[in-house]
Amino acid sequence: MARVTLVFAVLLAGLGMGGYFGTGSQHPTALIPAGIGIAMGVFGFLAISPNEGRRKLFMHFNVTIAVLGFVGTLVQMFRTLASGKELDPTTMTALAAQLVLAWLLLIYVILCARSFIVARESEVIAMRKDQD
C-alpha cells in the first residue's frame, strides 16, 4: 500500500501544480493538493520498510491526512457553492480541482480501509493458527 501512496502523492502534487499554473499563478491556495501530496509522499516513502510497526504508523498517518483533506475539501466546496456568489471561470476551475482532489482522496481512503481490513484478517488468522 505504501507504493500506491506514492502514486497518489504524485497525482496530488500534479493536481496542485496544474491548478496553480492553470489559474495564472495568482492563487497560492491552488497548491494545497500539492502540499497534501508531498506530505503523503514523505510518509509513503517512510512506510516502505520491513518493520511492520513503522509501516503501520506511517500508513495510518497517510490515511489520516487523506480523511482530513477529504473533509476539508468538501467543506470548502459547499461553502463556495452556498455563498450565493456568481461563479466566474476561476472559481469554476477551483471547484473542478477541489472535486478531483476529493475524489482522489476518497478513493485512497477506501483503498487504505480495504488494505487495513485484509491485514487485520490476516493477523487474526495467524493468531488462530498459533493457538491451535
What is the pTM (predicted TM-score) of this model?
0.88
For the chain, helix, strand, coil in percent to 5 are 85, 0, 15
Q: Is the pLDDT assigned to residue 63 strictly greater than 90?
A: yes
pLDDT of 130: 80
What is the C-alpha to C-alpha distance for residues 99 and 14, in angstroms, rounded to an integer? 15
pLDDT (tens digit, 9 = 90+) per residue, 31-52?
999 999 999 999 999 999 899 8
What are the CA-CA distances from residue 69 to residues 54, 82, 103, 107, 126 (Å)?
Answer: 23, 20, 11, 12, 34
